Amino acid sequence: MNLPLLSIITWLPVLGGVAVMLIGDGRASLARWAALIVSLAALGFSVPLWCHFDASTAALQFVERLPWVPAVHSDYYLGIDGIALPLIVLTTFSTVLVIIAGWTVIEKRPSQYFAAFLIMEGLMVGVFSAADALLFYVFWEAMLIPMFLIIGIWGGARRIYATIKFFLYTFLGSVFMLVALVYMYLKAGSYDLAALYQLPLDRTEQTLIFLAFFAAFAVKVPMVPVHTWLPDAHVEAPTGGSVILAAIMLKMGGYGFMRFSLPIAPDAAHSLDWLVIGLSLIAVVYIGLVALVQTDMKKLIAYSSIAHMAFVTLGCFVGYEIVAATGNTSGETLALSGAMVQMISHGLVSGALFLCVGVLYDRLHTRDIGAYGGVINTMPYFGAFMVLFGMANAGLPGTSGFVGEFMVVLASFKANFWFAAVAATTLITGAAYTLWLIKRVVLGPVGNDGVASLKDLNGREFFVLGVLAVAVIAMGVYPKPLTDVMEPTLRHLVQLMSVSKL
């Protein structure tokens, strides 16, 4: 079988999205089904991607390479390794769920809604599969337009403020990356990522390039103090937009650190790791406390996302300290796989929590925690799901949330006791804000008439949350298939990180 699988998964949703848009709002039901079929097809095509992936090598697989912009020696060059594969599958998987979740909820311009998500899907897959830096950048930036429209058209009351803030923040971060990429192209003569990995750079260059990438990726993750766009964007976005933002777009920051910052500027990453580790630990503690005082459910989950993503950045950069403390790189691989597992897990858990909030919002049209209470009395199935995802968010063993955090904390312990100690406070704050949220929303006596009139999940909602619940538990109990796929790639990454370019 020699289908260009990556191109199919990238372009099928984009073209499908255009087709769905052309179907138009007049035939909304047809548009919905078409969108579902396209997204299922994309998910279907990612199955052979997983099955035929050779997990014993770090080399790029499913490679497609065609000349694209010969003037700057940039190729249409796709290929995936063990880091990209899980994220691509997460993308195609989440998109299907988002489309099902928005099935009847979206009444305003439905065909454009579904089209926007399909186009997003294609572009996000493009980001993860690009092996050419310019192609990566094009996908990376192109993604902003559909997301801008999703938040701006279907969002809440302050959607316009939120979406413009989102766009400008991310755009500002990325233009620095563009300058860094062009600079390296002029030295290396190619945008091929492999060539950039080999490019020798002195310390000043590395530092500046690292900071340029840091601007792009730290905004996307997001890290303190450039996280302020996220609560706004998450709160104002429609449910589907929040899910895609949390599940996929935040991951691009972590992915960018692994794909660009660490292998391209290893020495600068080493000498500046205190910055990232420091900001990550601040995020864990400070943002955890901020989450505690939120009164808006979406905002609470948004802040919890920032705290959880801090484990990803911690896992990416704590490796240098581990090597310095223990002298071998085994802990480094552990930290990186912890970061990866945390990304996938957070994608599932936060996506699920946003869907839960969406379920409530569709019924009572408020996200205010005070407006709920005792939901479990009228919505027992929903209550069960929400409790499960809350537990996963708090990092309960047996759920996916535990695995990644545990791996990162364990690895940090090898570097420095205090890193681990501070990071582990998430077990307290994370549990505090999540459980308190659950207590106030789900448990207790029926809070008011609105809650008393609630109807439990319909089949569609049950299906979406059920699938996510299965995934969360499966990953929590048996994460080995996932870690096995990434293992060789991460080893290779550790090698690239530890070879000085000076």
Partner 1 sequence: MNQILANSLALATPEIVLVIGASIVLIVDVFLNDAQRGISYLLALATLVVTAVFVAALPEGRNVGFTGMFVVDGIARFLKLVACGSVAAVFLYSRDYLRVRGLFRGEYFVLALFATLGIFVIVSAGSLLSMYMGIEVLALSQYALVAFDRDSSVAAESAMKYFVLGAIASGLLLYGISIVYGVTGTFDLASLAVHTQLGAGTNVGVLFGLAFIVAGIAFKFGAVPFHMWVPDVYHGAPTSVTMFVAAAPKLAYFALALRVLAEGLAGAVGAWQQMLIVLAVLSIGVGNIVAVAQTNLKRMLAYSTISNVGFILLGILAGTPAGYRGALFYTVAYVLMSLGSFAMILLLSRKGFEADRIEDFRGLAQHRPWFAWMMLFLMASTAGVPPFVGFFSKLYVIQAVLDVGLTWLAIVAVLFSVVGAFYYLRVIKAMFFEAPAGESVDESSVSFKFLLSLNALSVLALGLCSSLLSDTIAKAFH
Binding site for partner 1 (CB under 8 A): 67-72, 109, 112, 134, 137-139, 141-142, 144-145, 148-149, 152-153, 159-160, 163-164, 167-168, 171-172, 175-176, 178-179, 182-183, 185-186
Axis crossing angle, helix 144-154 with helix 159-188, rounded to the nearest 10: 180
Contact between 6 and 61 under an 8 Å Cβ cutoff? The reply is no
Which class for 396: exposed (0-12), middle (13-18), buried (19 or more C-beta within 10 A)? middle
In three-state form (DSSP H/G/I as H, E/B as E, the rest C), the secondary structure along 42-73 is: HHHHHHHHHHCCCCCCCCCEEEEEEEEEHHHC
In the complex, what is the shortest distance from the CB of residue 167 to partner 1, in angstroms, rounded to a whole number?
Answer: 6
Cβ closest to partner 1, residue 128 vs residue 137: 137
Numbers of helices and strands, H then E, in the chain = 27, 2
CB of 67 to partner 1, least distance (A): 8
Tokens for 146, please give them: 């559909």
The residue (of 214 and 311) whose beta carbon lies closer to partner 1 is 214
For 351-378, letters b (16+ CB in 10 Å) and e give bbbbbbbbbbbebbeebebebbbbbbbb
| Residues forming beta bridges with residue 69, ordered by sequence position | 74
Instruction: Provide the token pair at 427.
Output: 């077990």
Residue nearer to partner 1 on the CB measure, 123 or 415: 123
Please name the residues in contact with 412: beta carbons below 8 A apart, sequence gap of 6 or more. Answer: 314, 318, 335, 419, 420, 423
State the burial class of residue 480 (Cβ atoms within 10 Å of its Cβ: 0-12, 13-18, 19+).
exposed
Rounded CA gap, 43 and 50, in Å? 11
Closest contact distance (angstroms) between CB of 7 and partner 1 is 13
Exposure of 264 in the CB half-sphere (CA atoms within 13 A):
31
User: Which residue's CB is nearer to partner 1, number 69 or number 467?
Assistant: 69
Residue number, 139 or 433, with CB nearest to partner 1: 139
User: How many residues appear in the chain?
Assistant: 502
- Minimum CB distance to partner 1, residue 145 (Å): 6
When the beta carbons of 14 and 318 are compared against partner 1, the nearer one is: 14
To partner 1, the closest distance from the beta carbon of 66 in angstroms equals 11
Which residue, 115 or 341, is less far from partner 1 as judged by CB? 115
Place of tokens 């990866």: 340
Provide, rounded to whole angstroms, the least separation between the CB of residue 69 and partner 1. Answer: 6
Taking alpha carbons only, the member of 380, 354, 379, 376 closest to residue 367 is 354
CB of 221 to partner 1, least distance (A): 19
Residue 163 CB, nearest distance to partner 1 (Å)? 8
* SS3 of the chain: helix, strand, coil, percent, to 5: 80, 5, 20
Report the chain's terminal Cα–Cα distance, integer Å: 43
Which residue, 91 or 112, has its beta carbon nearer to partner 1? Answer: 112
Q: How far is the CB of 24 from partner 1 (least distance, A)?
A: 8
Which of residues 12 and 457 has its CB atom nearest to partner 1 in the complex? 12
